[in-house]
Amino acid sequence: MELQLDGGSFCLILRFNSILPMYIHKEGYKPIAISVIIFAILNLLSFYFISAHFPIVTWLLLMASFGLLLFIISFFRIPNRTLTAGDNKVISPADGKVVVIEETFDEEYFKEKRLQISVFMSPANVHVNRNPLSGEVVYNQYHKGKYLVAWNPKSSTENERHSVVIRHQKGDVLVKQIAGALAKRIINYLKVGQQVTQNNELGFIRFGSRVDVLLPLDAKVEVSLNQVVQGGVTVLATI
């Protein structure tokens, strides 16, 4: 772990040796820095004011706060992986579990039936989102909404969400980032007119959420319900 002072401002950057199988996403720098400061202050005060009289309480507080700090750091982890590529392959945009495979009528963009595959991300999953295929961004829209649990079928249309459509030579694909009961911030990096590359970062969602992928009806599904998938690795479908 490396601490840097840049122009008088405090910045925490986590750097892992190349031997370790992960690094920390840029979205985690600020919250991790704040968490480290709170951890340090809390435990310094605890050891100074409490340890002499209640040493067990001090050690319990240290272990609990250290566990929480490790969880926050792990939430922003990005594992080093060998990513899957293929022009006709739709790669999973997120880590998690497949919770929906069905035909649905899309009211937002296509105004017709599409094949929907949904991946639920728990707080323990990696939360970076990736482009499922290469192409041109032709639609990008943020929607305010509720914070229903992400596995609720109504979350696709009623929760806070961010939708993008990537135009591929074999058909348009809509990717919908959906906030869950714990996810309070959806981050999307794409813009209309942008040419995107398969597996490059699409965005990030904090603390549990869901991603829907809406495909042409003739797409061949390559996953099953309740299957655990990896973003950038697992093939959801071929088109």
* 5: its two tokens: 């002072």
Query: 96-118 b/e with 16+ CB inside 10 Å = b?
Result: bbbbbbeebebebbeeeebbbbb
Amino acid letter at 77?
Answer: R
Amino acid letter at 63?
Answer: M
* 147: its two tokens: 């914070």
Residue 209 annotated as catalytic: yes
Query: 170-196 b/e with 16+ CB inside 10 Å = b?
Result: ebbbbbbbbbbbebeebbbebeeeeeb
- Catalytic residue, from 51, 122, 209, 224: name it: 209
Helices (H) and strands (E) in the chain, counts: 3, 18
What are residue 42's DSSP bridge partners? none
Q: Which of helix, strand or coil describes residue 114?
A: strand
Give the separation between CA 69 and CA 24, rounded to whole angstroms.
14
Q: What is the DSSP letter of 146?
A: B
> Is residue 163 classed exposed, middle or buried when 0-12, 13-18 and 19+ CB atoms within 10 A define those classes?
buried
Q: What is the DSSP letter of 43?
A: H
Annotated catalytic sites, by residue?
209
